[in-house]
Structure 1
Amino acid sequence: MISFQGVIYGLQRWAALLLTGILAGLGGMLLAMLLHEIQHLTWGYSQNLLISPQTFLQGVTDASAQRRFLVLVAAGMVAGCGWWLLARYGKKRVSISAAVNDASKPMPALTTLVHILLQIVTVAMGSPLGREVAPREAGALFAGGVARRLHLTSADIQLMTACGAGAGLAAVYNVPLAGAIFTLEVLLVSFSRDAALAALVTSALAAWVASLGLGDEHQYHFTAEFAATSLIFWGILCGPLLGAMACLFRRLTQYASSKVQDNWQMPVISLAAFTLLGICAIWFPQLPGNGKGAAQLALSGEISATLAAMLLVLKVFLICAVIRGGAAGGLLTPGLAVGGLLGSLLFLIVGPLFPGSDMESFALLGAAGFLAASAHMPVTTLALVMESTRMDHSFLVPVALCITGAWATCRVLERRR
């Protein structure tokens, strides 16, 4: 028979799950709203609407060349000085993975909150890194705090922390299934019925709570109606190539991250990196921001070969540059952008060999395969691409084949290092 203490603990556990989902959803919603507000103020567009139909890319494009340069220089000062001061005076940061792996290492509240705000501010001002790490950290921080207040076991504290991070991802991008799978595949690296149920409940609840303020929108507008049969063969062929490019991207970003030093170099290099981004943005307004604008151009088939090649090279270089300068952020949306641009270029080269295919479809496969390999999360990527583009079901097979080939190739290349 179930003891009275067992019933009470079960209720505490369910309370922790529900609070994790609600708090992660609120955190993701408020951080997204803060991001939009800073974007509108700094770039001077849609200042009367918090949730605006005008995109960030449109806002940057409409801004003057001088404004683009000055805003990005200011972003470099905020990033360099902010993270240098945080490293010098704040407590040592505890990553989400470290908190999930060891319940005795809680994320320090003040340091984590400052780290989160720095990411949101710099991404809003044009950092080429992603915004998804901030809501994941917020969700993990809240979830860990709730679990400890409710006196859950160490194993359940780890589970709630992981669920909070996945729910934060679900909230900010409105991808409840991808958020749940991310919890299991990337953070817990395991699957059980209880963990799957917890991940699904928290991610679904967080996505719903966030949608009350942000609306029920998907991130990308994918215009291809259905997948041509030839796309299956292209998915098989392009997977290894995307995996090799993703492996190179991982090496570059890891090398840049390994060279970061918490001293006077951080503000200097950060300012130099963002200044270079500001100079490039004068001619290429698609470069500032987390890459959503560039990815959308690729997924809409509205990009030329010259522009795609220039954006691809500059995007990768600038991502590595700001990471070297000490800026923090995610590589999810940037990975989608780089992969989408690469897919567009490949279509312009070999597209005519695949009857019925189009640039949008090639870009979709490029984005999915590259992200799956570069982030080492194939199943999460499949769900993420499905939810964020609302692609037709006919794309499921070619995207899955592409992801499999890319991820497997990247793993093989890394093991040979």
Structure 2
Amino acid sequence: MAAIFPFRPRRRVMSVKSITSNPVRREHSPFAAVAAVTLLTGIGAGLGGMLLALLLHGIQHVAYGYSVTHAISAESFLQGVTGAAPGRRVLVLAICGLVAGLGWWALYRFGRPLVSIREAVKSDDPQMPLASTTAHALLQIVTVALGSPLGREVAPREISSALAGWLSRRAGLSVAQSRIMVACGAGAGLAAVYNVPLGGAVFVLEVLLGTFGWPALVPAIVTSSIAALVAQAGLGNEHQYLVPSMTLSASLVVWSVVCGPLFGAAAWGFTELMKRSRAAAPKDWRLPVLSLLNFAIIGVLAMHFPQLPGNGKGPAGLAFDGGLTIGLAAMLLVLKIVITASSLRAGAEGGLLTPGLANGALLAIVLGGVWSLFWPGASSGAFAVVGATAFLAASMQMPITAVVLVFEFTRVSQDFLIPVLLAVGGALLAFQACTKWAPALQPGFGLNWGGVGKAR
């Protein structure tokens, strides 16, 4: 029988149950996964940045009672605060203190521990808690809208990075790819909220990743471009500052060389002060108390100086436009530094990009005004553009990003690259010299409330 009927292996018949319980895993293309996450991160960052910006402007209009029915460009925040009654400014800033104090206290008390973008980019598990990160970002937007002197740029970066991390995990990207996408999310958020696609991409490459290699370069450019394009649907294709036509002069070039190191030294002092202020901030019951007290004082100051509330865009715009005297610029510079440090010390959170930009512009008005007494020929706005770039580049240690951002912010002529780069170079050298030598010369520098933040 065996010869007549040769042996044939029995075919295994799989039931429907066995098929559904043991699905065949299909390998997806790594390129397709990265491309999908890149596309979705850019779209998500654009939508997130647009919504956060609209929320910010909506709160500003309602809080200070100006141009409620018209769009963003109808009236500036500085004009709205200036037009509000002095008592209303105090009330709004006091509410800001309550929101900041109670909000961040509740987040630290009940929320999951926050993970910064830098920590996520360096982590083996580049994830940021979505709920806590979203709450943290919304608190920043609300408080800046109500008059906090800190920057609003961190909020869209955090939300976009958290989204990128979540998408990367869902797509099964590797750790290295996920880190790149988290960084790209941050750049895309910056690009969306300020309409700076190139600046957002360069920020990713220079500041967060420290590489311009192709695996990082392509997604950084694509995500930031898509985010800026999506955000324009709701915010319009506008740049941040309206700068009058300015011309290059020999006086400005020489001033940039001479004063560049002064901006670097000032940026070092500002950075150290902010670092110690943030390190000393409480996270317990003292946070609401200090926050309310701090912002109430800012409200009193705002009764006489309506330029103080907000992230510094108003004073910077006045500096670029040549609308400040030397005396007023000096007073605003001192007060802006003090209230920025005190807000961080009280427990509020926010960025330092736009405050740093404003400080540089105000310092440039003072230095440029004195310089013009001896060598006229440059406008105060030209001094402000150069000084703002140098201060920002040194304070945040991102020279390329700072140059790109300021040129995208202002759309100033490319002729200004020469004085800008000269000032940035001098500022960076001075900042590095201060970092190396200053701690040995003055170990007690900086704020020291409660014994916190003594060591660097």
TM-score bracket for the superposition, by shorter chain length: over 0.9
RMSD: 1.2
- Partner SS state of residue 52, structure 1: helix
The residue that corresponds to 2:235 in the other structure is 214
CA distance in 2, matches of 1:202, 1:379: 19
Q: Give the structure-2-normalised TM-score.
A: 0.89
Q: Are positions 1:202 and 2:229 aligned together?
A: no
Query: Could you say what secondary structure the match of 2:188 adopts?
Result: helix
Distance 1:57 1:200 in 2: 33
- Alignment of 1:106 with 2:134, yes or no, is no
Match in the other structure for 1:303: 324
Deviates more, 1:221-230 or 1:128-137: 221-230
| Cα deviation, residue 221, structure 1 | 1.1
Paired residue type of 1:215: G
Pair 356,6 (structure 1): closer, same or farther in 2 beyond 3 Å = farther
Contact 2:126 2:178 in 1 (8 A): no
Inter-partner Cα distance in structure 2 for 1:132 and 1:36:
14
Corresponding residue for residue 142 of structure 2: 121
Q: Is the 2:246–2:379 contact (alpha carbons within 8 Å) kept by the matching residues of 1? A: no
Equivalence for 1:187: 208
In the alignment, the residues of structure 1 paired with residue 408 and residue 101 of structure 2 have an alpha-carbon distance, to the nearest angstrom, of 35
Distance 2:171 2:394 in 1: 38
**Take 1:177 and 1:313, find their aligned partners in 2: how far apart are those partners?**
32
Against the structure 1 CA distance between its residues 354 and 21, is the aligned structure 2 distance closer, same or farther, given a 3 Å change threshold?
farther
Aligned residue among 51, 56, 64 for 2:72: 51
- For 1:106 and 1:199, the matched residues in 2 are separated by 18
Measured after TM superposition, the shift of residue 285 of structure 1 is: 0.3
Counterpart CA distance in 1 for 2:75 and 2:177 is 42
- The separation in 1 between residues aligned to 2:194 and 2:290, in whole angstroms, is 31
Please, what TM-score do these two structures have when normalized by structure 1? 0.97
Corresponding position: 1:174 with 2:195: yes
Aligned pair 1:74/2:74, yes or no? Answer: no
Aligned to 1:253: 274
Please list every run of 5 or more consecutive structure 1 residues that lacks an aligned counterpart in the other structure: none
Q: Which residue of 2 aligns with 1:312?
A: 333
Q: Give the superposition deviation at 1:226.
A: 2.2
Q: Distance in 2 between matches of 1:356 and 1:372?
A: 25
1:239 partnered with 2:260: yes
SS of residue paired to 2:155: helix
Query: 2:401 — aligned with what?
Result: 380
SS at match of 1:303: coil
Query: Are 1:90 and 2:124 counterparts?
Result: no
CA contact (8 A) 1:234 1:354 kept: no
Name the structure 2 match of 1:38.
59
- 1:334 aligned to 2:334? no
Q: Which has the larger radius of gyration?
A: 2
Letter in 2 for 1:358: S
Match of 1:148 in 2: 169
Equivalent residue number for residue 131 of structure 1: 152
- Of 312, 321, 343, 1:322 maps to 343
- Do the aligned partners of 1:243 and 1:409 also contact (CA within 8 Å) in 2? yes
Identity of aligned residues (%): 51
Within the alignment, does 1:344 sit opposite 2:365 as a pair?
yes
Cα distance in 2 between the residues matched to 1:347 and 1:235: 10
Query: How far apart, in 1, do the equivalents of 2:421 and 2:170 lie?
Result: 42
| Cα distance between partner residues in 1 of 2:233 and 2:194 | 13
Q: How does 1:224-235 map to 2 (within 5 A)?
A: 224-235=245-256
| Maintained 8 Å contact 1:231/1:354 | no
Distance 1:71 1:230, change over 3 A: same
CA distance in 1, matches of 2:229, 2:47: 10
Shift of 1:400: 1.1
Aligned residue for 2:127, secondary structure, equals coil
Q: Cα deviation per residue 1:363-409 (whole Å; 9 max; x = unaligned)?
A: 11111111111111111000001101000111011101111111221
Tell me if structure 2 keeps the 8 A contact 1:37–1:50.
no
Q: Which residue of 2 aligns with 1:389?
A: 410
Q: Take 1:394 and 1:6, find their aligned partners in 2: how far apart are those partners?
A: 52
Separation (CA, whole Å) in 2 of partners of 1:64 and 1:316: 25
Is the CA contact (8 Å cut-off) linking 2:39 and 2:223 kept in structure 1?
Answer: yes
- Please give the alpha-carbon distance, in whole angstroms, between the structure 2 residues aligned to 1:103 and 1:115: 23
What is the letter of the counterpart of residue 371 of structure 1? L
Task: Flag as ranges the 4+ runs of structure 1 deviating above 4 A.
Answer: none
Whole-angstrom CA distance in 1 between matches of 2:364 and 2:301? 23
Give distance in 2, aligned partners of 1:239 and 1:196. 30
Aligned residues: 413
Amino acid at match of 1:154: V
Report the Cα offset of residue 215 of structure 1. Answer: 0.4
8 Å CA contact retained: 1:139, 1:168: yes
Deviation digits for residues 286-321 of structure 1 (CA, Å, limit 9, x no counterpart): 000000000001001111122111101100000000
Distance in 1, matches of 2:308 and 2:171, equals 45
Tell me: CA distance 1:112–1:394, structure 2 relative to 1, closer, same or farther (3 Å). same
Separation in structure 2 between the aligned mates of residue 408 and residue 168 of structure 1, nearest angstrom: 30
- The equivalent residue for 2:310 is 289
Q: Is 1:359 the equivalent of 2:369? A: no
